[in-house]
Amino acid sequence: MLKRYIGSQPEVAVMIRGTSFGAVKTGEAIPIPDDIANSVAWPEANWEDVTDGSTPNPNSGTETETTNETEAS
């Protein structure tokens, strides 16, 4: 599961059940195995699910969403 951090802190560390998944900045997303992600609560004020349109972020090792724009004909 890909979770995007939308909270107000500029950066947070993601640790679930003693396992560190790294740090994520506001607007960035981080991959979490589905079974682990589904075993904890993700406050909607701080996190959202990313379902598509994501590409790797080479700077942080996490994933972020990109916007695909198409030209109107």
SS (H, E, C) 7-72: CCCCEEEEEECCEEEEEEECCEEEECCHHHHCCCCCCCCCEEEECCCEEECCCCCCEEECCCCCCC
> What is the arithmetic mean of pLDDT over 7-24?
96
At 16, list the tokens.
């679930």
Is the CB of residue 26 less than 8 Å from the CB of residue 6? yes
What pLDDT is attached to residue 68? Answer: 36
Domain ranges across the chain = 2-64
Convert the pLDDT of each residue in 16-73 to its tens digit: 999 999 999 999 999 999 999 999 999 999 999 998 654 444 344 434 333 333 334 3
